[in-house]
Amino acid sequence: MKRSDPNRGEPAQGNPQPKNELDELQFFFAEQLRKRRALPKDAELSERARSIVRATGRLSAVERLEIYREQFWLRHTASLVEDFPGLSGILGQAAWEDLIEGYLEVHPPRSFTLRDLGLELPEYVEARPDLAQHALCCDMARLERAYLELFDAADATPLNAAALAAIPEAAWENARIELSPTLRLLEVEYPVAELRQRVFLARDGGIELLLASPEKQRLLLFRRDLSLFHEAVAAGAFALLRSLTQRVPLVAACERAQAEIPEEAASVAANVGAWFADWTARGFIASIEV
């Protein structure tokens, strides 16, 4: 079979509008599905629905549309609660439902996969200062998005010891470190990773969830052997890794970390060798560009 452009003869995407009778029907249908509350049985909608959808002896046209609308909300809220169990656990049922109904109105699903549905939720939570425990919710949303991204991030072959040993001494100053795609850095004001585990215990064990007090943490989130882990790290190590993710050469990254956190400057100088050896051994370093 020959290859062809799947969009041949089609207009470019962007701000799509109905162009014909079939499109108009589909836009109307899609608009009804996204309505937050059950479709009203008022005369206006009923008349419009009847002109499009056949009623049966058992169901009116609006009731048949309502089947799809209800499924839209059930499907998408179920997906979000699966991906953000910590956030939903903190908020409780009513506040969670209110949050995600608002989210889905502002950020309707646009990706072909439900996996992407909640990727903008941290920003939406950030923009909702009315939420109880707002700062805690912001941290939890960012943590859970990071887990989502790490779970199916690209597999990377870690740098091996032989490749590391082959790098000339003089090359280290300008070496750029490529960290594994299965590693994320997250700075939080609350110990949300531990709290998230308590959410599961509370949910599964029926015990009361005690929310956490503020405690600034710098977290390394990573995937190893297909499972996800978190680990709190020292401020100097965190600052160094953050610079490395920004492709700052190794020596300059060390200097930047020391400048950012002067009280950790000595620690960075003393520990950088050990940290680097540890990160390499644990597969956090994907490659080194010299």
Partner 1 sequence: MSAARLGLPDLGVGVGLRVPHYRYVVEQKPAMDFFEIISENFMVDGGRPRHHLARVLEQYRVVQHGVSLGIAGPEPLDREYLARLKRLVREVKPPWLSDHFCWCGAGGAHLHDLLPIPYTRQAIARVVERAKQVQDFLELPFALENTSSYLEFESSTLSEWEFIGEIAERANIGILFDLNNVYVSAYNHGFDPYEFVECVPHERIVQIHLAGHTNLGDYIIDTHRGHVIDEVWNLYRRTLELTGPVSTLIEWDDEIPSFDVLVAEAEKARTIRQRVLGGERLEAIARGAPPRSAAPREDAHGWQQGGPRETAHDGSTP
Which residue lies nearer to partner 1 by CB, 190 or 276? Answer: 190
To partner 1, the closest distance from the beta carbon of 107 in angstroms equals 10
Distance of alpha carbon 144 from the chain centroid: 6
To partner 1, the closest distance from the beta carbon of 87 in angstroms equals 13
Rounded to whole angstroms, how far apart are CA atoms 53 and 50? 5
Question: Is residue 106 left, alpha or beta, with left meaning phi > 0 and alpha meaning psi from -120 to 50?
Answer: alpha
To partner 1, the closest distance from the beta carbon of 31 in angstroms equals 8
- CB 246 within 8 Å of CB 237: no
Q: What is each CA distance from 252 to 36, 64, 139, 275, 280, in whole angstroms?
A: 52, 64, 29, 16, 19
To partner 1, the closest distance from the beta carbon of 286 in angstroms equals 12
Which residue lies nearer to partner 1 by CB, 9 or 262? Answer: 9
Give me the phi and psi of 187, to 5 degrees please.
Answer: -105, 125
To partner 1, the closest distance from the beta carbon of 67 in angstroms equals 4
To partner 1, the closest distance from the beta carbon of 103 in angstroms equals 14
Rounded to whole angstroms, how far apart are CA atoms 122 and 143? 9
Which residue lies nearer to partner 1 by CB, 169 or 225? Answer: 225
- Token readout for 193 is 């990773």
To partner 1, the closest distance from the beta carbon of 112 in angstroms equals 4
> How is residue 247 annotated by DSSP?
T
Which residue lies nearer to partner 1 by CB, 79 or 267? Answer: 79
Question: Is residue 134 left, alpha or beta, with left meaning phi > 0 and alpha meaning psi from -120 to 50?
Answer: alpha
Bridge-based pairing of strands 176-179 and 183-188 is: unpaired
Rounded to whole angstroms, how far apart are CA atoms 186 and 36? 34
Q: Give the DSSP H or E segment for 231.
A: strand 227-232
Which residue lies nearer to partner 1 by CB, 28 or 172? Answer: 28
Which residue lies nearer to partner 1 by CB, 79 or 245? Answer: 79
Which residue lies nearer to partner 1 by CB, 24 or 278? Answer: 24
